[in-house]
Amino acid sequence: MPLVRIDAMGTAGERLDALGRAVHDALVETLGFPPDDRFQILTGHDGTHSTLRYDDYLGVHRDDGIVYVALTMRAGRHPEQKKALYRRIAELAHEYAGTEPRNVFITLTENAPIDWSLGNGEAQYATA
């Protein structure tokens, strides 16, 4: 069960939705998550009331098309699976939302089963 947070500059609802679909489809395709396992926080920033900062770190030129994708999920994926996920997110973000792959910045944080409560105040994964 991943928790996905997407932050993007100058983004209307349609683009945010497309980015959310891109990340979800990549998770389903590359890591085998169930299609109904979608928990996302989608936030657009207007550059005035809220904004995103970036530079050209590691020689990657970013611009106002920047999209930050923060994934939190249980530990256990191999490095090759993670690489495939990052690649597929960038491909689908370009296909679905027109976001240049160079503007897709992804972080993945892993944790343990006890770190999740999926409702009802229970630790479902800890007892499964």
Clarify whether 2 is annotated catalytic. Answer: yes
Catalytic residue among 2, 35, 79, 113: 2
Angle among Cα 10, 15, 21 to the nearest 5 degrees reads: 140
CA quadruple 98, 41, 111, 127: dihedral positive or negative?
negative
Cβ 94 vs Cβ 100: under 8 Å: yes
Q: Which of 79, 80, 97, 78 lies closest to 23, judged by CA? A: 97
Q: Which residues are catalytic?
A: 2
